[in-house]
Amino acid sequence: MARIPDIKKEITIPEGIKATIINNILTINGEKGSLSREFTHPKIQIKIKDNIIALICKNPRKKQKALFGTFIAHINNMIKGTTKEFEYKMKTVFSHFPIKLSVEGKDFIIQNFLGERASRKALILEGVNVDIEGDDVTVHGIDIEKVGQTVANIERATLVRNRDVRVFQDGVYRTSKGEK
């Protein structure tokens, strides 16, 4: 059986960003804030020298290769988030009953959805900001996973139940995503 070559990847740290790794917890500090994440796997090593984050995987198998790519994607997203914020745009759609949106603390409140008397709530995760301007909702923050999960929470809160979704297309839907 042939030996599988080691895989290596170097990620250059841009100016103004500081990266440290202590006990497999990578912390990246930038102008927008700080993000930390734990990266642990026995075959994957992460080292920082000068302005380079080096990832090394010795004798990888299929799952280690996949995890190696995932680690790289997470590190790149952490670097992007600390330099530029991630921003998702959402649109409110309704046909019969006008939906009223508001933010109260860590809750996104949806009132009068399909004429319901009880308001629906979606959780806004820590470090995520939600801005409402008329029918447009903007969700932004430095952690892409928390921003994306907040958007998913809002979409899930406006799920139409016990009605034909082809007729009742009311809700709050994501229209775009990307960097700010």
What distance in Å separates the CA atoms of residue 13 and residue 69, rounded to the nearest whole number?
17
- Per the model's pLDDT, the better-predicted residue between 163 and 109 turns out to be 109
Residues 74-91 pLDDT 10s: 999 999 999 999 999 999
7-83, which class in CATH?
alpha beta
CATH hierarchy code of domain 86-179:
3.90.930.12
Q: List the structure tokens of 17.
A: 């960003």
Domain with CATH 3.90.930.12 in the chain: 7-83, 86-179
pLDDT at 10 over 90: yes
Residue 86 exposure: Cα atoms within 13 Å on the Cβ side: 22
Cβ-proximal residues to 83 (8 Å cutoff; 6+ apart), any chain = 14, 16, 17, 30, 31, 32
Residues 16-26 pLDDT 10s: 999 999 999 99
Question: Model-level pTM?
Answer: 0.88
The mean of the pLDDT values for the chain is 92
Confidence of residue 4 (pLDDT cuts 50, 70, 90): confident
